[in-house]
Amino acid sequence: MLWHVTSFLLGQVLALLLGWNLSETGHEESGALIAALLGAYAWLLINLLRGAQLLRWLRLGAQQPVKLGHGLWAQAAERMRRLMRARERLQAQSEIRLRGFLDAFQDSPYGIVLLDDQDRIEWVNQTASAHFGLDPMRDKLQHLSNLVRDPAFTAYFSAHDYRRELRMTGNPAPGTKLLRLSVHLHSYGERRSLLLSRDITAVEQTEAMRRDFVANVSHEIRTPLTVLTGFVETMQTLPLDESERQHYLELMAQQSQRMQSLVKDLLMLSQIEGSPPPTTQEWVPVQKILTQCEQDAQNLSLVLWQREHNLHVDAGGNAQIAGVSAELYSAMFNLIGNAIRYTPIKQHIDVTWRLLADGSAVFAVKDTGAGIAPEHIPRLTERFYRVDRSRSRETGGTGLGLAIVKHVAQRHGAELRIESIPGKGSTFSITFPAQRVRLGSVGN
């Protein structure tokens, strides 16, 4: 500003001196005045031109540097240049932060849809695209209610009462499995909305399994309790001779044993699911487990069939498994026990342990019983699933044995396989990975 005033005054002084010297004698004062006015006009014109140059520079986006010399316009241009650079830096930082937020939203396990004040889609992440079958580019600025046509969602969306979540079926792309979603809308800003979606398919399946499990446990326990209660009332109210009393007591003992087996299997399942995975530090001799399984299996055969089965056990050398001894015994004995229960006494059962070339090992139980129809095999490891419910209860089965086998196998990194041909028999096998199998003596 000081330079601007100084340049004007210097110009006026120079114009006065020049006008004074060039004027005719006797007209020096009028000549100096005219020169001063011309100098003022010239100074004003120069400043107007610089101002116009500055405005043109701003109108073109201030991309290229502008030369305005010194003075007020040069200072104004410099100040503007600094302000624009600061604004550009702030804008670049804001864009980086925005990209960071969008990247985080993009990687979120939740579906996220941003809606404008007219409920049109502004942005959608990949998870939401999978949940609702949306295309981030094609569906941009489309009304969400036109794309998600589920009646429950339409009612929820139009009610504008977003205090609760909505559970609905998703609308994934053709050829993909249906999803169950939890959807929640949130209002923000000036009538804008944020839609969050979460895949709850597994949660609802777990809830359904829990309800079925509780219902099945209640049913399995209620049945023997009802029988026991009936026998107790009979013995309390009716005069019975010794043979009748003994018969009722035997039936009561069977029902008690059935409940005890059910509770034992439930505790085993609870222990397996609630404990950490087994390490590879504890090594269990296979021969020791199979010897115990063979003894218990023949005892079970005597209880169920009043004679021993034709059971052949081949331990296949001095192998060891890294894992929990009680779990491994439970899995192996459950497979042998099932074969004892469902194989007629005249048929034979083969139990083998075999090392494979890659270092893994297979424990297999093969029977020559009635076999299992193919439609039942995928569901055999479900809790309380039975091919023949009446036959299973007669033989003392709880419906949890194969579920225990599956969990034990998974915890030890093994794989359970079931092969069966109706009328010819079944083979249940567990393949243990090489890192959990080694050769060694029982004393190791």
List, for residues 296-347, the tens digit of each pLDDT value.
888 888 877 777 788 898 887 788 999 999 899 999 999 998 898 888 887 8
Distance (Å, rounded) from C-alpha 378 to C-alpha 86? 66
Q: Report residue 437's pLDDT band, with 50, 70 and 90 as the boundaries.
A: very high
* pLDDT value of residue 444: 46
pLDDT tens string 160-172 = 888 888 999 887 6
pLDDT exceeds 70 at position 62? no
pLDDT of residue 218: 75
pLDDT digits (tens, 9 = 90+) for 354-389: 999 999 999 999 998 888 888 888 888 887 777 765
pLDDT at 27: 46
User: What is the per-residue pLDDT for 443?
Assistant: 45
**Beta strands across the sheet bearing 310-314:** 310-314, 348-355, 361-367, 425-432, 415-421
Q: Could you tell me what percent of the chain has a pLDDT over 70? A: 77
Condensed to tens digits (0 to 9), the pLDDT of residues 110-135 reads: 899 999 988 899 989 988 888 888 88
Query: Residue 188 forms beta bridges with which residues?
Result: 192
Contacts of 138 (CB under 8 A, 6+ apart): none
46-55, 80-89, 152-161: the lowest-pLDDT one: 46-55
pLDDT at 236: 82
Confidence of residue 279 (pLDDT cuts 50, 70, 90): confident
Residue 321: phi and psi, rounded to 5, are: -120, 140
Please give the average per-residue pLDDT across 180-192, as a whole number: 88
Residue 442 — pLDDT band, cuts 50, 70, 90? very low
Contact (Cβ atoms closer than 8 angstroms) between residue 428 and residue 364: yes
| Contact criterion met (CB below 8 Å) for 30 and 16 | no
Q: What is the overall mean pLDDT for the chain?
A: 79
What pLDDT score does 409 carry? 92
Position with higher pLDDT, 419 vs 391: 419
The CA-CA-CA angle for residues 373, 378, 379, to 5°, reads 95
Report residue 13's pLDDT band, with 50, 70 and 90 as the boundaries: low
Q: What's residue 113's pLDDT?
A: 92
The candidate with the shortest Cα–Cα distance to 74, out of 39, 42, 46, 41, is 46
For residues 253-281, average pLDDT: 80
CA atoms of 167 and 79, how far apart (whole Å):
57
In sequence order, the 6+-apart residues with CB closer than 8 A to the CB of 397 are 338, 341, 386
| Strongest mean pLDDT among 89-103, 175-189, 261-275, 283-297 | 283-297
Q: Which residues, including other chains, have CB under 8 Å from residue 372's CB and lie 6 or more apart?
A: 380, 387, 418, 420, 422, 426
Measured CA to CA, the distance from residue 363 to residue 289 in angstroms comes to 12
Domains of the chain: 2-101 (no CATH), 108-199 (3.30.450.20), 204-274 (1.10.287.130), 276-444 (3.30.565.10)
Least confident of 186-190, 231-235, 269-273, 408-412: 269-273
The answer to whether 127 and 197 are in contact (CB under 8 A) is yes
In degrees, to the nearest 5, what angle opens at C-alpha 117 toward C-alphas 124 and 187? Answer: 75
How much is the pLDDT for 17? Answer: 54
Q: What is the pLDDT of residue 426?
A: 92
